[in-house]
Amino acid sequence: MIYKIALVKGDGIGPEIVESAVAVLNKIAAKFNHTFKYKDVLAGGCAYDATGHPLPEETLKVCKESDSVLLGAVGGPKWDNLPSHLRPEKALLGLRSALNLYTNLRPATMHPALKDECPLREDITANGFDMVIVRELTGGIYFGENGRRMGPNGKEAYDTECYSVMEVERVGRVAFELAQKRNKKLVSIDKANVLESSRLWRETMHRLAKEYEDVEYSDMLVDNAAMQLIRNPSQFDVVVTSNMFGDILSDEASMITGSIGLLPSASLGSSKCGMYEPIHGSAPDIAGQNKANPIATILSAAMMLRYSFDLAKEADCIEEAVTDVLNAGYRTHDILGNSNKKPLGTREMTKVILDYI
Ligand code: NAD
């Protein structure tokens, strides 16, 4: 099979880590007899510099025509003072909404070999953890009506959280179906004791739960969920929640795995074309220094094979190689902990992973 992949390298460490993921994809192509055809496109700060816009039309066109999009990261101090519609981050929101990517999957797994990197107590992490946070991505307060006005106390600002039954149902189904493929446990997180939008979210999830009776379903309030992630992360398998709660909780979950440089993500919609990217940003402090951990992007490429191309064996092969490399003690600087080992650079870590595939 031939698969067309749009590469959005972006800014900062983006080009270095996407090159690592492409090297891994090429090795998989050779091993399993596939053809991956890449097209480089600009988005973010580099696109603004080249074209005056963070998301040029050509980029959108190529991404829409591809089978999938692999993205590094966008942004950096150079573009921090641009007006909001020209900021690099606008490219991400533009791509998500143009490709109708309404679900974001963020796995958070503790590799046993990295236990010492986890900031939690040893007795809490003794059982390890392996969860996937399913975040609604194109609705809620980030897309609701907002503005500024004069109120009884003078100038005020507001943002609105609004969810339709349709929006909850479509992300809810993704979460139930994912739970069916894993340990058949799903927790839906909301703030139904206070918010009307959460009450509709909960009602809709309860109705869906009746269709997925093989899944053990429960609700949790978001404030409790923030505590439970620290108190006992191993209780979670699949978690589904709204855009803003998912944004916050998935960063909390990433922190307890040890390093932001390890975690991949997938943004999915109703077609097979998804967008795959590490959860971290463009790390301008280490850009161009061969210091970035490429694992989050390499694992994002594995998610692309699994979710967009249905190549589960190939995805397993990448994930197993990463686990083996970590078990064998190879480290980049962000996961070095107190060890006095010499960290590997981006290119050297990529080479070791290629050798293990
Ligand atoms: P960041 O994730 O880029 O960096 C936070 C810290 O983690 C830094 O010390 C960085 O060196 C380190 N780090 C991140 N990725 C790493 C990796 N792969 N290996 C080793 N260390 C790594 O977050 P930030 O500093 O808050 O943001 C920098 C820029 O990235 C900003 O312009 C921000 O807007 C942008 N950003 C982009 C995305 C995205 O493209 N999806 C996401 C978040 C932030």
Pick the catalytic residue from 130, 219, 251, 324. 251
d(CA 69, CA 215): 31
Q: What is the pLDDT of residues 18-33, one digit of tens each?
A: 999 999 999 999 999 9
Mean pLDDT to the nearest integer, 221-226? 98
Neighbours of 12 (CB within 10 A): 29
pLDDT of residue 128: 85
Amino acid identity for residue 102 in this structure: Y
Give residue 112's pLDDT.
82
Quick check: CB of 89 below 6 Å from ligand 1? yes
Tell me how far the alpha carbon of residue 282 lies from the centroid of ligand 1, in angstroms.
5
Asked whether 286 lines ligand 1 (CB < 6 A), one says yes
The rounded Å distance from CA 285 to ligand 1 centre is 9
Q: Is 334 in the pocket of ligand 1 (CB under 6 A)?
A: yes
In whole angstroms, what is the distance from residue 40 CA to residue 7 CA? Answer: 5
Query: Is residue 339's pLDDT more than 80?
Result: no
Domains of the chain: 1-102+266-357 (3.40.718.10)
Q: Are strands 68-73 and 103-109 parallel, antiparallel or unpaired?
A: unpaired
Share of the chain above pLDDT 90, in %: 86
Residue 159 designated active-site = no
pLDDT digits (tens, 9 = 90+) for 110-124: 888 888 888 888 888
